[in-house]
Structures are given as structure tokens and as C-alpha cells.
Structure 1
């Protein structure tokens, strides 16, 4: 268990935004095929993510959104293709080095909900602590800053089982943020949340990406919200898998092929889907 030294989190300064720079590509995917052993779920995936951008992976159920995220996070092996972080193939990173580059929030439940919020967020510092788990002043500062950014200061001593779904989701994101990686991957971060909290989480992620120059990628069924809030979107369709800014995807009619036209149509004027009655 990580040892946490009690401090007043409000005395710590927030993360300083990185000064503007040219769009550096932090994650690059070339001709990627994903799946399980001999079963291919999706192939021909090509896209790149730049620093300071919020991006989403959208598509129908079962197309491979979560499989792609798990593959990018090195939780399962790719079938073929290349995944590069800062120009270096992920296979060439050792596990500890990769953990300092990329953090992942999956949909699996946490190991123990008996932890406090502060203890959960502190787990994000494990790649940097010694085997005893002592937290340095830097570790504590990162933890407290993450608690602040996710507005969890008043909940940090609350047990995780006492939290609402939205509060627990914020705590999980804070843990990933405390890991202080350049890239953050999130699988369905708005699942089970009401409309207000879905918007709150996505706007918060966009703010973090832009202000701290993190590269944030998440999977979602909230396509209309992704269109309004994301800088880039990957439409996983199993064939073309188009990737671009939402306005360009709309211009190229990429969203119109997502669902059967006799059931749902996409309105490019409003960026929304309409049910065919």
C-alpha cells in the first residue's frame, strides 16, 4: 500500500500549462489489426494523435472500440501493424517506461472499493515509487493537483464504495492524471452517467487536454457529444475507419454509414442523428 502523508491540498499550485508549440505527434498508428489470436476484430486502422487534443473512438457495438483501446494500452497484443509513442515502437518500451508514457482507465471495477479516494488516486504514482511505496513530495503534489482538477478535494477521505458513479469515474480519471503520462486512454468514461455528468466529464477532459497538453483518447457511444467537444474522431467501421476533425468527417459524410439508413439518418446541418419514423 502506498503511504500517504497528510497535507493541505489547497496549498498546491495547479499544473502549469505547457507553452504552446507545434503539433507534436505523440501516438501514431499504422495499418493496425486488432483481435484475439487468430480472430481479427478490425484491421486497416490508421490515425495519429497530437499533444493537447481530445479525441474519441466511436462506432457500433462489437466493432472493436474497447479492443482497440486495450491494444493501444498494451493490455493485449496487436495482431499486426505499428503503434508508436513519440516515434518509438511500443514493443521497444520496457513496462515501467511505458507506464510513464501512457495511462489507461478501463471499465473493469477497481480491486477494492474500501480504499479512500486519496488512496485510489495515489495508485497512479506506482510507476515512480520505490518498492516500499513511499510517496515523495513530488508524488504528493501530483496527487493533490489531480484531486483539485477533478474537484475531489472534499471527497478525498471518502471510501470509494460511498461514491456515486460520477464521483467514482472522476476519481479514476484523477488516478490516471496523477500518473502524469503524456497520453491518457479511457474506455467509456461516461457510461451509466446522466446527461449533465456526461457533459461535465467530457468538458473536463477537453479542458485538461488543452490546458496541460495531454493527449486524451476515449471510446464512446455519445457520438453527438463527441462531435461537439472533440478535436478529432476515429470512426471505427471495419472498412475505411476514417479519422479527422469532426467538421471534416461531416463534410465527407463519414457518419452517415454508421447505422442502417432505414432506421437512423445523420443530419449534417445539426451534427445529430434522427430516427426514421
Structure 2
């Protein structure tokens, strides 16, 4: 759990945001501000609206109320091409063709910058190479995506987002279907990328205990106050103690873990 002084440069912020579908709100009153170089998790119970929020922040669906700012400008003021150079979005949908090689899939991250025939420049190739190295994919780069394990494919998808070279990376459930070791490995990689590259990485997760241990900040969607802050601050505020029914699961503030009530 971190207690560092937060960077003052806000990269992504929301004010009184409401997300949902058409006229049906799923979660309201979302307020947070993310600084550069931070790893942040959106956590909460199933169905609370974590993926809906992520899709809204990535402009994959419209907000219902409130505002989203990317830097000094509102999200809606960006053209699709401008936004593609600001935000990379990794959703849980399966990739279009697993017959691509790892390198080909990562290269798709450079689409916002290539010319009309999609030719990769020397600079594009450098960004792709950097992503391959950072995600430890050197030995897999010429393999077909259908040959990869879930954990390996997840690293490739993160590498594609990294190759896009945006200041903000949004990831929906990047540790789904992974075992404990690979969950930790992916989250530690994301933390390292955020701190080393100064990119702002926001991901949704059910792994609340891991997020408490590894993230700089957390957004806890509870459907009411939706508290945001450093993990230690949220623990002090007792934000996790009412997340689940107390007679089933209780939160131990001293260890930052949940305990099953027998």
C-alpha cells in the first residue's frame, strides 16, 4: 500500500459522472482525478458498472451526465483520431483474428499514426520493439496468437496498447481467467509500466486485495459515494467494510484482506 505524495498533473478526471445505457443509469456520482504515472484500479461488486465506466471513459459509449476531462479538454471535444493518440482501450472482447502473429497484433497499435497505406515508419517500429521488450514477449513475437495461453495473449494485448503510445491506457479485467501467479505478474508489469513510462493506467478488477497492495489509487464503486483515493486512505475511511454483507465476508483493516465468516 502506497502513501506517496501524488503528482499534481491531472491527466484524466470526472465530475459528477453518470454512466449507463440510454436513459438507464447504472452508477452515478463518480468523481476522481488521475495523475500521470499512476496505476489505478476500479473495483466493486459484480454488476456495479465497472466495465460500463471504462467503456464510457474510452468513448466506446456515451455518458449520461457529468463531465470527463482528458487534460484540459472535455472528452467530447476530441476527434476520433485525436482521441486515439490520447487513450488506448483494451476490452474483454475476443480479438478479430487469432491467426495474426504476436508482432502483427502489436503493430495494430500504430494505426493512428501510419500513413494511408499503413506503412510502418522507423519510429513506429521502435515503439513496437519497446512494447515487445517491456512485456517480455521477445520469444513469442513470431508465434500465432492462437498458440498462446490466456496469460501470454493478455500480455500481447497490453503490448498493443503500449505501442499505441498514449498517455492513458484503459484495461477491462486484464487478469480474468488467469491463475494467481499470472494475475500478480500482469499487475506488477502494469505498475512498472506506469511508473517507468509515466503513463496513466486504469483497469477494472475483481481482485480487490491485489489492487490494495499494488495500486497507487483506487476507485471503489459502491453505488453511493464511490470513494476514490490511495488504498491506505480508503482503509482509514472504512470504505471496504460495507462492500459485502458482514455476515458473509468481513474486511480486516490491519492486513488489507477479506475474511470469510464461518
2:157 maps to 1:165: no
What SS does the aligned partner of 1:35 have? strand
Residue 241 of structure 2 is aligned with which of 256, 261, 267? 256
In structure 1, the partner of 2:63 is 78
Unaligned runs of 5+ in 1: 1-20
After TM superposition, give the deviation of residue 23 of structure 1 in Å: 2.7
Q: Distance in 1 between matches of 2:114 and 2:8?
A: 31
The superposition leaves residues 151-206 of structure 1 with CA deviations (integer Å, 9 ceiling, x where unpaired) of 00111110000000000000000000000000000000000001000000000000
Residue 148 of structure 1 is aligned with which of 118, 126, 133? 133
Question: Number of paired residues?
Answer: 257
**In structure 2, do the counterparts of structure 1 residues 97 and 64 end up closer, same or farther at CA, with 3 Å as the change threshold?**
same
Q: Distance in 2 between matches of 1:122 and 1:24?
A: 30
After TM superposition, give the deviation of residue 129 of structure 1 in Å: 0.5
Q: Distance in 2 between matches of 1:77 and 1:169?
A: 26
Q: Distance in 2 between matches of 1:99 and 1:164?
A: 28
2:144 maps to 1:198: no
In structure 2, the partner of 1:7 is none
Residue 238 of structure 1 is aligned with which of 223, 226, 232? 223
In structure 2, the partner of 1:275 is 260
Q: Distance in 1 between matches of 2:78 and 2:241?
A: 39
In structure 1, the partner of 2:3 is none
2:165 maps to 1:180: yes
In structure 2, the partner of 1:210 is 195
In structure 2, the partner of 1:61 is 46
The superposition leaves residues 109-165 of structure 1 with CA deviations (integer Å, 9 ceiling, x where unpaired) of 000000000000000000000121000000000001100000001111100000000
Residue 28 of structure 1 is aligned with which of 13, 16, 20? 13
Q: Distance in 1 between matches of 2:75 and 2:155?
A: 28
After TM superposition, give the deviation of residue 95 of structure 1 in Å: 0.3
Mapped contact 2:17–2:63 kept (Cα < 8 A): yes
2:44 maps to 1:52: no
What SS does the aligned partner of 2:240 have? helix
After TM superposition, give the deviation of residue 22 of structure 1 in Å: 4.9
Q: Distance in 2 between matches of 1:28 and 1:242?
A: 14
Q: Distance in 1 between matches of 2:101 and 2:48?
A: 36
The superposition leaves residues 19-39 of structure 1 with CA deviations (integer Å, 9 ceiling, x where unpaired) of xx9531000100000000011
Q: Distance in 1 between matches of 2:150 and 2:181?
A: 13
Unaligned runs of 5+ in 2: 1-5
Q: Which of structure 1's runs of 4+ aligned residues deviate more than 2 A?
A: none
The superposition leaves residues 28-72 of structure 1 with CA deviations (integer Å, 9 ceiling, x where unpaired) of 100000000011100010001000100000000000000000000
The two structures have a TM-score, normalised by structure 2, of: 0.97
Q: Distance in 2 between matches of 1:74 and 1:116?
A: 28
Q: Distance in 2 between matches of 1:140 and 1:260?
A: 51
Q: Distance in 1 between matches of 2:255 and 2:239?
A: 15
